[in-house]
Amino acid sequence: MTAPANHHPRLLRAEERVCDPASVAMLHKAASDCVDTCFSRLDTQRNQCAFGTNGMCCRICHMGPCRITHKAPRGVCGADVDTIVARNYLREVAGGAAAHSDHGRHLVLLLKKVAEGQAGHYRIADEPALRRAARLYGLAEQGRTKEAVALDLAQLFLEEFSRQEGPLRTLTLAPVRRQSVWRNRGIQPSGIDRTVVECLHRTNIGVDHDYRNLLLHAFRTALADGWGGSRLASIVSDVLFGTPSPIRSHANLGVLKENTVNILVHGHEPALSEMLAIASQDPQLLAEAKAAGAEGLTLAGICCTANEVLIRHGIPVAGNFLQQELAVITGAVELLITDVQCCLPSLPEVARAYHTEVVSTSELAKTAGAEHLPFEEAQALDNAKALIRRAIANFKRRDSSKVNIPKVSQALVAGFSVAAIKYMLGGTFRASFRPLNDAIIQGRIKGLVGVVGCNNPKLKTDAYINTLTRELVKQEVIVLKTGCAAIASAKAGLLTPESALELAGPGFREVCEAVGIPPVLHMGSCVDNSRLLEAASEVVREGGLGDDLSEVPAVGVAPEWMSEKAIAIGCYFVASGVDVILGHPFHVGGSEKVTRFLNEDIRELLGAAFQVCPDPHQAAAAILELLNRKRERLGINRQAERKLYDMKDRRALSV
Ligand code: XCC
Ligand code: SF4
């Protein structure tokens, strides 16, 4: 077990904590404005408990809390360290799966209201996506109104949550071979809600004590997330708000403007932010902003809400997870609107040092010190306009002596849904993954790697994510991105086709240039990790790269993860047969058996496992090794060699 990464002998300088110059500047400003951030609070939480770090503390019943040591190897109830570590782990996966799935549920309920004509200004933005989804689930759609189809689909999706018996229907979107792995291992989840509730039951005092059984339920629960709640969230978002396609924008704190009313949307669920994106274009509101002395309105995003409005509207991204406080510290934010997940409870405290108002909008999520303005779907557009007016009214309270917006932002292209990738690869009439599969078979692309997840102040922000991404592109690996990892790459300029192409290895670069795709594809938010599985499934369906996801040269990486959601994502990747590299370990180090199960034994059962690589170069080597092993097994490495000779011959002929 390695020591927690934050045990530094001395306080770190800003430049050692974050990579990008905008964040460095704001950390300096935070210090001079006497404002605490995640980074400074981590310093006050330095001696993080070794029992917690290793998962060896149990407070599940009130005979405890119990902590496992050499002298006290069992809790009061008799639970050993393996049971305790596995139970804690399962509860984390439950937390992550619940968050993603509840997000999905809210969207399904909104779809139902839209179908019933009860959802104000919301409508079905992408009818072909609706009909495509209906066909996927075997629902009749031809000759029926989109509302009728949407109602059926919403009903079917609600049953995915409430199903008590039989496997989740959405599992059938996976390749058939993978479905049989799940069936044979007995880890097909039933309804999402049932599966998550069962986590709490199994981990109750005196229930499931076999660490393997507990961990298998963790994988089952994660499947209910990745091939359940998250997948539904992505499908319904596309139906309601449009399937993303490549769109240009900018990222980093420099997207905030000194002379405009600046509004930030932050969190995860796209319903309100969609309306804000629409309302922010309203000429009337623009006129009001001007009347208040501003030059206009700037709407920008943080975290995954940012990703949602970026991939559909090109709304710029102010920053990723650890920049939420830094955005406020610019002194130039009139209003920060939060919904759910990853919104720090410190925000109102940071905002108090400036004129910024923090408003929470979800019934699920209130923050002490923030104004709570619950948003009603039927009045969403009015709610959005009212929020913008609030920001305009707050503009005059801005203290220009406290404003310092770093002039740092990067151009980017985002919005690579699977449909968009298919279209780019094959055109409208022959949209398909064939050219990608061929490029992988020929060895011009070595494989697919998803680099996803959060930032964590224990690690230098964005450093691992971007070092690894650059290295992979160089090694001819196509990199798929979501969440805060995607924003990290955006800030580093890695999402512009031009600059990333310069990095790409020769064969890969040729493919990218021929097809017109960048080597790093921003696919969306955290729930959109389901799109990565969709893409890998598409590769299997296209043929030539195995019948199962575990055969595809593909790997997932969560370099700087921090959230329970990332654990659930990691588990559903592994359960799908895709190896996962972690930049730092889970809280399971206290149990050798649990660690071995997750890093080794699980491969026997599911064809993939976790691996911890604290160094990005080591991770790149491990990834290439994994990809290469899959390529060997598919027999395509030799093919690639032959192809290379072919190409050389042809070149020789043409000169
Ligand atoms: Fe949150 Fe999704 Fe993590 Fe970013 S990446 S810190 S979960 S916003 Ni999903
Ligand atoms: Fe202690 Fe067992 Fe209770 Fe956990 S469940 S707190 S190990 S007695």
Q: Taking residues 536-559, what's their average pLDDT? A: 98
Tell me the CA–centroid distance for residue 74 and ligand 2, in Å: 9
Distance CA 317, CA 314 (A): 9
Q: Helix or strand or coil: residue 298?
A: strand
Q: Is the CB of 484 under 6 A from ligand 1?
A: yes
Tell me which residue has its CA closest to atom 2 in ligand 2.
Answer: 77
Task: State which ligand 1 atom lies nearest to the alpha carbon of 455.
Answer: 6
Burial of 191 (0-12, 13-18, 19+ CB in 10 A): buried
Q: Is the CB of 324 under 6 A from ligand 1?
A: no
Q: Taking residues 374-388, what's their average pLDDT? A: 95
Q: What is the pLDDT of residue 217?
A: 98
Q: Taking residues 570-594, what's their average pLDDT? A: 98
Q: What is the pLDDT of residue 120?
A: 95
Task: State which ligand 2 atom lies nearest to the alpha carbon of 61.
Answer: 3
Q: What is the pLDDT of residue 2?
A: 44
Tell me the CA–centroid distance for residue 131 and ligand 1, in Å: 30
pTM assigned to the model: 0.95
Distance CA 453, CA 437 (A): 26
Does 3 have pLDDT greater than 50? Answer: no
Q: How sure is the predictor about 549, in pLDDT bands with cuts at 50, 70 and 90? A: very high
Q: Is the CB of 270 under 6 A from ligand 1?
A: no
Is there a contact between 145 and 515 (Cβ–Cβ < 8 Å)? Answer: no
Closest ligand to Cα 65: 2
Q: Over the stretch 410-431, which tens digit does the pLDDT of each residue have? A: 999 999 999 999 999 987 678 8
486-518 in b/e form (b: 16+ CB < 10 A) is bbbbbbbbbbbbeebbebbbebbbebbeeeebb
Tell me the CA–centroid distance for residue 86 and ligand 2, in Å: 13
Q: Helix or strand or coil: residue 138?
A: coil
Q: Is the CB of 563 under 6 A from ligand 1?
A: yes
Q: Over the stretch 115-142, which tens digit does the pLDDT of each residue have? A: 999 999 999 999 999 999 999 999 999 9
**Probe target for ligand 1 pocket from 454, 455, 528, with the most ligand atoms within 8 Å of CB:** 454
| Residues whose CB is less than 8 angstroms from the CB of residue 130 and which lie 6 or more positions away in sequence, other chains included | 124, 141, 146, 149, 150, 153, 239
Tell me the CA–centroid distance for residue 80 and ligand 2, in Å: 10
**Probe target for ligand 1 pocket from 303, 317, 529, with the most ligand atoms within 8 Å of CB:** 303
Q: Helix or strand or coil: residue 652?
A: helix
